[in-house]
């Protein structure tokens, strides 16, 4: 260990931008075993590992780095999977520069240990070697739990509850399992096979999936509650924020999720009419994406792969104040995306379909309540950008869950996220819990996994306590 003094940081080999533009495959190759061990050995085994403190899962990073450096990969996998239900997913798509690696003590002066790439390498190897097995619970319990939503929060909770022997049912309105990991995040960041093999493992472990089952349409919350001892709501956030400017109703101004879902479905082999008719396909078009988060980065990079004529990203703040990961911005720039910083749409041009975007130049003013500088328009400074396709990536809000679920007693915050008691993860309805983006607002996969794990522990405590209470009541009567 401590090899950071003589070994430079090396990421796995990255494919060239030209090569990447031709397909939707992941952009990094896998580490070769020797290189993974070398990179892991750069860790200084800190007494207080800030990497671990800043990992939402509290992953035992120094231990699995040491085991990898020593070539003890199966043990590294055991340690890594003890705190994370999808280490190979987090290794691929966590914004490590803001989490574990950004807080690695050797980052300043020596460049961080490549924690994410090693984490991915360990679990990809475990899959290849057959170390990842279906769950065999020590005991089978009669009680059942229903998850509404099969994204990372629902799947992590499903796995943890199945390990404890519960009968687990997962309901999702989509035809495929995985939530945003399937239909939001593009293949070049997270290949779909990585998710489908996880789903198959859960099915082989006895978890029952109810696909194309929409709560609110196919059953109310109360009807589902009748069937299970506890429920978890993990439905994510999907209501796209909109732009209200002149021309915003023109054709070919589309929400990011529709665009990304069409592209992901196409990649999965589905017939997608909107892709074929060109309305959700960037090929040959001048594309402008509005927004500066991870979703916007995924849209610009998808557009380059679809063969767009030009791709621009309009963001109202500057590079330093962008919410998206800096790594993603760098990838996008390498792939030919042009960033128009400090610009906000002032209107869309065109008669029937959009032909251009009028962009208002901005400057950063006083910090707002969150401490970020607020963008202010610079009077009389407007530029026009050609556009045949505009993609709106301005973030997401929750849907009206109490109304949709026919459950007015379900309390929500003023933003529409579901209110929970953070000690018990329970909502305002007894036996109904909530986790993931629907509680936090749009966040990260790693936080959804953390919430799912916490919710599973809370549900277990709730069911156990209820069983004891029922026994005492039965004895007393």
The footprint of ligand SF4 (CB under 6 A) covers: 43-46, 49-51, 55, 57, 59, 61-62, 84, 90-91, 94, 96, 99-100, 104-106, 113, 115-116, 119, 446
Q: How far is the CB of 234 from ligand SF4 (least distance, A)?
A: 18
105 binding partner (options ligand FAD, ligand SF4, none; Cβ < 5 to 8 Å by kind): ligand SF4
What the block records as the tokens of 164 is: 């404890």
50 and 333 Cβ atoms separated by less than 8 Å: no
39 and 31 Cβ atoms separated by less than 8 Å: yes
Rounded to whole angstroms, the Cα distance separating 103 from 7 reads 19
- 305 CB contacts (<8 Å, ≥6 apart)? 20, 21, 22, 23, 24, 188
Rounded to whole angstroms, the Cα distance separating 261 from 249 reads 21
Q: Between 248 and 287, how does the x/- string for binding to ligand FAD read (CB under 6 A)?
A: ------------x---------------------------
Q: Which is nearer to ligand SF4, 38 or 386 (CB)?
A: 38
Q: How far is the CB of 294 from ligand FAD (least distance, A)?
A: 4
191 binding partner (options ligand SF4, ligand FAD, none; Cβ < 5 to 8 Å by kind): none
Q: How far is the CB of 59 from ligand FAD (least distance, A)?
A: 14
Q: Which of residues 327-356 bind ligand FAD (CB under 6 A)?
A: none
Q: Between 226 and 255, how does the x/- string for binding to ligand FAD read (CB under 6 A)?
A: --------xxx-------------------
Q: How far is the CB of 44 from ligand SF4 (least distance, A)?
A: 4
Task: Using CB under 6 A, pick the residue from 295, 302, 304, 310 that binds ligand FAD.
Answer: 295
Q: How far is the CB of 259 from ligand FAD (least distance, A)?
A: 10
- 471 CB contacts (<8 Å, ≥6 apart)? none
Task: Please tell me whether residue 61 binds ligand FAD under the rule CB under 6 A.
Answer: no
Task: Using CB under 6 A, pick the residue from 61, 199, 215, 232 that binds ligand FAD.
Answer: 215
Element spanning 307, H or E: none
298 binding partner (options ligand SF4, ligand FAD, none; Cβ < 5 to 8 Å by kind): ligand FAD
Q: How far is the CB of 346 from ligand FAD (least distance, A)?
A: 25
Stretch that binds ligand FAD, among 1-9, 12-20, 436-444, 454-462 (CB under 6 A): 436-444
Q: By three-state DSSP, how is residue 6 classified?
A: coil
Q: How far is the CB of 52 from ligand SF4 (least distance, A)?
A: 6
Rounded to whole angstroms, the Cα distance separating 386 from 288 reads 8
Q: How far is the CB of 132 from ligand SF4 (least distance, A)?
A: 17
Q: How far is the CB of 443 from ligand SF4 (least distance, A)?
A: 13
Stretch that binds ligand FAD, among 51-59, 101-109, 360-368, 441-449 (CB under 6 A): 441-449
Q: Give the count of beta carbons closer than 10 Å to the beta carbon of residue 89.
A: 25
432 and 221 Cβ atoms separated by less than 8 Å: yes
CA end-to-end distance (rounded Å), the chain: 64
Task: Please tell me whether residue 69 binds ligand FAD under the rule CB under 6 A.
Answer: no
Q: Is 98 exposed, middle or buried (0-12, 13-18, 19+ CB in 10 A)?
A: middle
Rounded to whole angstroms, the Cα distance separating 104 from 94 reads 15
Radius of gyration of the chain (CA): 24
275 and 302 Cβ atoms separated by less than 8 Å: no
Task: Provide the angle, in degrees to the nearest 10, between the axes of the packed helices 61-69 and 33-40.
Answer: 130
Rounded to whole angstroms, the Cα distance separating 290 from 360 reads 12
Q: By three-state DSSP, how is residue 453 classified?
A: helix
Task: Please tell me whether residue 444 binds ligand FAD under the rule CB under 6 A.
Answer: yes
Task: Please tell me whether residue 160 binds ligand FAD under the rule CB under 6 A.
Answer: no
Q: Is 204 exposed, middle or buried (0-12, 13-18, 19+ CB in 10 A)?
A: exposed
432 and 459 Cβ atoms separated by less than 8 Å: no
Task: Using CB under 6 A, pick the residue from 12, 62, 91, 179 that binds ligand FAD.
Answer: 179
Rounded to whole angstroms, the Cα distance separating 210 from 148 reads 10
Q: How far is the CB of 108 from ligand SF4 (least distance, A)?
A: 11
Size of the site for ligand FAD (CB under 6 A): 36
Element spanning 95, H or E: none
Task: Please tell me whether residue 93 binds ligand FAD under the rule CB under 6 A.
Answer: yes
Stretch that binds ligand FAD, among 75-83, 118-126, 183-191, 197-205 (CB under 6 A): 183-191
Task: Please tell me whether residue 91 binds ligand FAD under the rule CB under 6 A.
Answer: no
Rounded to whole angstroms, the Cα distance separating 240 from 353 reads 21
Q: Which residues bind ligand FAD (CB under 6 A)?
A: 93-94, 148-154, 171-174, 179-181, 184-185, 189, 214-216, 234-236, 260, 294-295, 298, 436-437, 443-446, 448
């Amino acid at each position: 260990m401590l090899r950071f003094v003589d070994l430079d940081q090396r990421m796995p080999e990255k494919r060239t931008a030209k090569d990447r533009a031709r397909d939707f495959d992941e952009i990094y190759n896998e580490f070769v075993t020797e290189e993974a061990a070398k990179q892991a050995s750069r860790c200084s085994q800190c007494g207080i590992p800030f990497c671990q403190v800043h990992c939402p899962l509290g992953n035992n990073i120094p231990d699995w780095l040491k085991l990898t450096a020593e070539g003890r990969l199966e043990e590294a996998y055991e340690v890594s999977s003890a705190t994370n239900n999808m280490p190979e997913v987090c290794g691929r798509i966590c914004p490590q520069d803001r989490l574990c690696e950004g807080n690695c003590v050797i980052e300043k002066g020596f460049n961080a240990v490549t924690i994410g790439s090693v984490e991915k390498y360990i679990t990809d190897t475990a899959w290849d070697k057959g170390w990842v097995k279906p769950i065999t619970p020590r005991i089978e319990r009669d009680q059942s739990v229903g998850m509404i939503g099969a994204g990372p929060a629902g799947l992590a909770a499903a796995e943890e509850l199945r390990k404890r022997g519960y009968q687990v049912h997962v309901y999702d309105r989509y035809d495929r399992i995985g939530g945003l990991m399937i239909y939001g995040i593009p293949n070049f960041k997270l290949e779909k096979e990585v998710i489908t093999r996880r789903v198959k493992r859960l099915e082989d472990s006895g978890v029952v999936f109810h696909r194309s089952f929409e709560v609110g349409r196919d059953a109310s919350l109360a009807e589902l509650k009748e069937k299970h001892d506890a429920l978890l709501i993990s439905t994510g956030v999907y209501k796209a924020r909109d732009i209200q400017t002149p021309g915003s109703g023109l054709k070919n101004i589309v929400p990011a999720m529709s665009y990304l879902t069409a592209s992901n479905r196409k990649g999965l082999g589905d017939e997608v009419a909107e892709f074929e008719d060109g309305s959700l396909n960037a090929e040959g078009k001048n594309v402008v994406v509005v927004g500066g988060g991870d979703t916007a980065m995924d849209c610009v990079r998808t557009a380059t792969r679809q063969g767009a004529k030009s791709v621009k990203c309009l963001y109202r703040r500057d590079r330093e104040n962008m919410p998206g990961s800096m790594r993603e911005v760098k990838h996008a720039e390498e792939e030919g995306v042009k960033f128009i910083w400090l610009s906000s749409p002032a209107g869309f041009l065109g008669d029937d379909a959009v032909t251009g975007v009028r962009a208002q130049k901005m400057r950063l003013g006083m910090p707002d309540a969150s401490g970020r500088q607020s963008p202010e328009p610079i009077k009389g400074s407007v530029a026009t950008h050609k556009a045949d396709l505009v993609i709106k990536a301005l973030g997401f809000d929750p849907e009206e869950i109490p109304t949709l679920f026919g459950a007015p007693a379900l309390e929500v915050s003023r933003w529409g996220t579901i209110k929970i008691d953070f000690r018990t993860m329970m909502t305002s309805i007894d036996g109904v819990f909530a986790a993931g983006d629907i509680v936090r607002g749009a966040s990260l996969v790693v936080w959804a996994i953390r919430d799912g794990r916490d919710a599973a522990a809370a549900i277990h405590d709730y069911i156990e306590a209820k069983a004891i209470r029922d026994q005492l009541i039965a004895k007393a009567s």
